[in-house]
Structure 1
Amino acid sequence: MLAGWWPADPMDCSRRMCLLLLLLALGLCLQRGAHAEHVRDLEVSEGAPVGTRVGYIGDGSSSDSGPPYLIVPVPGSAVDSDLAIEQTTGEMRTKVPLDRETRASYSLVAIPLSGENVRVVVRVLDENDNAPTFPTQVMGIEFPENTPRDVKRTLHPARDLDLGIYNTQRYNIVSGNVNNAFRLSSHRERDGVLYLDLQINGFLDRETTAVYSLLIEALDGGNPPLRGFMTVNITIQDVNDNQPIFNQSRYFATIPENATVGTSVLQVFATDTDAGENGQVVYSINRRQSDREGMFRIDSTTGLIAVNRPLDFETKEVHELVVVARDHGMQPLETTAFVSIRVTDVNDNQPTINVIFLSDDATPKISESAQPGEFVARISVNDPDSKTEYSNVNVTLQGGDGRFGLATRDNIIYLVIVSLPLDRELQPNYTLSVIATDTGNPPLHASRTFHLRVTDINDNAPEFERMVYYANVLEVADPGTSVFQIHAVDRDEGNNSALAYSILDTPDTHSTWFQIDPRSGLITTRSHIDCETDPVPQLTVMARDNGSPPLSSTATVLVTIHDVNDNEPIFDQSFYNVSVAENEPVGRCILKVGSVSIHVCV
């Protein structure tokens, strides 16, 4: 600041700067006591280019002796970094672009050589360089569809860092305001913020418009104004303001009098434009006004009307139902429709079929040992129309692959019999249907389907995968060593297929060397084995079922015992005596010792 007052040496400058500041502070204090301080106010726009002249320290008053000045910035005012001050002339210019929102003023004290101190305050004037800004870009709110007109909800206000007219001045709905359903209102509080409210402008109807997406803009007072935007997503909550509506006001249906209970008659259908529980429709029959006997029922969810009790044309030909559709709202709404059901006259007496199974426990089963002609079940057929033209009934048997048939003598009692031999292992179950048809017009049919189970007898012996198995084991194996696991299957079931394994004792086979687990079929060594005694012992393994009487089968297991060097050579006698003639030629064998073939030669 004090150009030419300081030596060129930087270290010397630093020391002298500290001393000068102390002297200046002391001088200011003394001058304040001796003279009144003169204040100089200057202004500059925050948009001014770098180098813009702010003004002069001196104002030409008599109390100001004029430049040169000693400049003392107020601490923290950033005068040195943002302003350039010519001490010899007192001219002040901008060094950097100014921003009022960052720093609104600068303060310094200018000390002339003589005269009063000048306190300079530079105020930064505001420009419209900030657009209104909402705190969030998207906001969500909800309104029940029965919300009265003029009800308001407070929205997030936009804030503008600029002042006065350049601050937020108004709000507009740019788009999304279907049918002009909403309007905006605003008010300014003491904090200077322009607060925003969204108001109902008409009547809301979720069934017409369920969601609004309003684009709201905030404008300041600049020319042209700067804008900020926010999207407000509005969900219209449903209330139960719509009753269910049937797709027809009256329904007609026809049903024969022999329709069985549960037979579908027709389906009514109603819709409710409300949402959730308010739009969920349930159906019922008004029993006070119709169908007090409960001849029909309705599915509360689907609206399907079905026969609930046997119908009789001769008793009542037409049934009039009042069907109610009700929603699930807290205060449910409902509507009604009329259903006319005409019952038609038919041959309404079906034959009846009664089946008695002739097994020991009266269940549908037959032994696979049953011979052709053996009885399976007794069937009695009756037609309530026996005194009318519908008295004759034809009975047939379906299913069973031709292995069963019907026998009768009086066309009233029928017997299901075995026609062909049975084999449970080939087919364990049969589905048979007895069908009775009267000769009415139209004829009526009755059927009875049952599942016949063929019970097992022990007619299948266990079966090995092969007749001969081969196994290997070392002759040094300890007792309990696993040798081989054998497996057999039995096509019977239950106890008839439960198998137990054993090793048959046969002479000279050394079968006692081995043992078998009766359940798993695992063959292990029972004792020490000897390759020199029997290198390939043969075992006969039997699998036996638990039937009555039991059946069994056998297989052969050839066990190869692998030799190890566990025997030293043995002479057949401990002392040999031989005589040799003196004229025996050289090389003649005179003695052979045992199985080791040791030759003694001359």
Structure 2
Amino acid sequence: MEIGWMRNQKQRQVLVFFVLLSMPAGVGAELGPYSIVEETERGSFVANLGKDLGLELTEMSTRGVRIISQGNKEHLQLAVQTGDLLINEKLDREELCGPTEPCVLHFQVLMEKPLEIFQAELRVTDINDHSPVFTEKEMLLKIPENSPLGNAFPLNNAVDLDVGSNNVQNYKISSNSHFRVLTQELRDGRKYPELVLDKELDREEKPELRLILTALDGGSPPRSGTAKVRIEIVDTNDNAPEFEQPIYKVQIPEDRPVGSLVVTVVARDLDSGVNGKISYTLFQPSDDMSKTLEVNPTTGEIRLRKQVDYETVLSYEVDIKATDGGGLSGKCTLLLQVVDVNDNPPEVTMSALTSPIPENSPETVVAVFSVSDPDSGNNGKTISSIQEDLPFLLKPSVKNFYTLTTKTALDREARAQYNITITVTDLGTPRLKTQLNITVLISDVNDNAPVFSQTSYTLLVPENNSPALHIGSVSATDRDSGTNAQVTYSLLPPQDPHLPLASLVSINADNGHLFALRSLDYEALQAFEFRVGATDRGSPALSSEALVRVVVVDDNDNSPFVLYPLQNGSAPCTELVPRVAEAGYLVTKVVAVDGDSGQNSWLSFQLLKATEPGLFSVWAHNGEVRTARQLSERDAAKHRLVVLVKDNGEPPLSATVTLHVLLVDGFSQPYLPLPEAAPDQAQADLLTIYLVIALASVSSLFLFSVLLFV
């Protein structure tokens, strides 16, 4: 007979897990136990969990009280509005637990905020909803006519799916003059009937008896089942088979292949002929036992019909019956113990997974999972781990639960995704392991301000530009993502309050493009600086700034201006030159300036016209007018010279100046010698004085222009 309950297709093992994202104090407290009668209607009241938990009705919702079960069926439901624990479906005790008593469904109650887990159990009470049933509707017994009074003949028992007092309690036999029935009990608690001979049999008087066997359970009212018993009276066979051992104890590993020999039972019969020929059978095997073991009727070899599983059934008990040709029988008991083999890898059940998780949040619960291994001993003990190079910790929690948390605050900009492998290994031989891969995404927090590509920008702009000209761009990037990385540009208030920044430039807030709002004049404003801000759209917003320097590039838009000799329309200035002057005599010096800069202001001088060509020359780089040869009496007294002053711009701009020269015999003003002669220095000093005065006048003119511009 079996001593362990075998989980068949109808059996369920019910485990209800409650999990959340953190594990505060209070995990593992117990509630109940609660009880319910099987077949109770769906929605029936079990208990008020709100009262047992000490919570008000509003707290049931705010604290997130919930029930989660593993598997396809939810046996219980929680009415959060009332705090009542209700039956979610009719419960069939026989389907849930089979013959196991008491029938207990373990579950857990979880509160999320803060997390608390309560262990609880629901006991399903049996009702008498099944009648005893005989596996054989008719039993045949062959009893020798010389059987002594008091001999007992075992009959097949009836099966009742109920338990306890609702199971089979006794047997009755229909009225007859030869037999009464006794109710006997097996080691596993099952009751079977035995016929006891009370009156001698006489085959010649009555060769056959037909009786009705009734099995009664202990329910109220009791239920019953019947089977027919046909008794054939046979001739004398005075020796029944006897086994060499009353009990055979055998151990086999659960990985023993189908067809393997379990044990060979041997019985002896002292009779001869047909009365001494023995046939072996399993005595009253259950359906599962018939599918697990088979016996060779001739040799007594017992072999496996299917592979046994330690995790399903730990041991088996079955009686072996030996029957001789005369109908006498004996029996022995086979006790078969299944030895565990590490044939089950650990099982990992992910209960909660949070992804993405925000960066900069230390010790955040990422996942909660449970580990189980149906093997026993070291084969069922497990260790769990993750990769060592990850910023996560694996912490054991209540029973077989684990939490996966962050070690420190994570940085999304350094790494936005983690692939974590949870490895669970048992301690069996060989070790078996299970791996579960999860992906954790890191969500962005606005912890990075925009960063400009340069701390300062220098932009070159030609003067006389058209308004709204794109003069350049600034660019800033933000390492954050989403709206936290969207950058808006703006002009910051100028440090110089006199700088009319709002009328000079504008910026596109979306892309950082800078535009000149009006035409710029190099001669009025050669350069200016301002600051640009970049602000992201996070909350709170972060910002940074960069310096922009705009350098106005000169355009050749100013012609040379002649300072000396003055060309104001008054009486022309006449330069006096003695007729005794040698070649190279300094007549005068044309002084001119150009408001532009760089090469646009580089001036060159050229003699454009002369009354007497070849008599005078102009030095190209300094504007000095000198005699080209020695003067003579033949040279005319009056001369008119036209000098061209030209800048080096593109295209070049120019101005002309007219000089009047008078040749004289004597000299009433200071003598202007050649450059090598000392007196020439006086004339040069005089011209220098003229130049300084002229430049001062021009500077005043430029300053006035700047003031007008501003």
Instruction: Using structure 2 for the length normalisation, give the TM-score.
Output: 0.39
